[in-house]
Structure 1
Amino acid sequence: MLNVTELAIKNLKAYLEQNNIDSAIRIALMQGG
């Protein structure tokens, strides 16, 4: 498993705000939940 940095989390949140919930679910599954 790769460690997620705070910057990556912030970028991920910003990305999800611009997309739909389906994208959030897919990314969460890809990162191992």
Structure 2
Amino acid sequence: DLDTVRIGQPVRIRFSPSEDGAPVPTFAPA
């Protein structure tokens, strides 16, 4: 969630492959 990044909490971004082949960024709490 981009709002979490903007607030400044530590987050982890993971790129997950999606069905159409393009990686999708997934935000998770660090």
Rg (Cα) greater in structure: 2
Which of the two has greater helix per residue?
Answer: 1
TM-score, normalisation: structure 1:
0.28
Greater fraction of residues in strand: 2
